[in-house]
Structure 1
């Protein structure tokens, strides 16, 4: 696996982990 693919995978995982927290609250507050 190349470094670029690993970096993209790690970035995607970070986004998925971050979504249930502040992101949902931010979307709900603006909805």
Structure 2
């Protein structure tokens, strides 16, 4: 159960991180 929760947390953090990263890159490209 703990491992499952840890996996979900890691997945959520990774997903949010990648979303913010993509938005940052998209903004930089848009500015150019």
Q: Could you tell me the TM-score, scaled by structure 1's length?
A: 0.56
Q: Does 1:18 align with 2:6?
A: no
Q: Give structure 2 stretches of 5+ with no counterpart.
A: 1-8
The total of aligned residue pairs comes to: 24
TM superposition outliers: structure 1 runs of 4+ over 6 Å: none
What corresponds to 2:17 in structure 1? 9
Structure 1 position 20, deviation (Å): 1.8
Structure index of larger Rg: 2
What is the TM-score when the length of structure 2 is the normalising length? 0.55
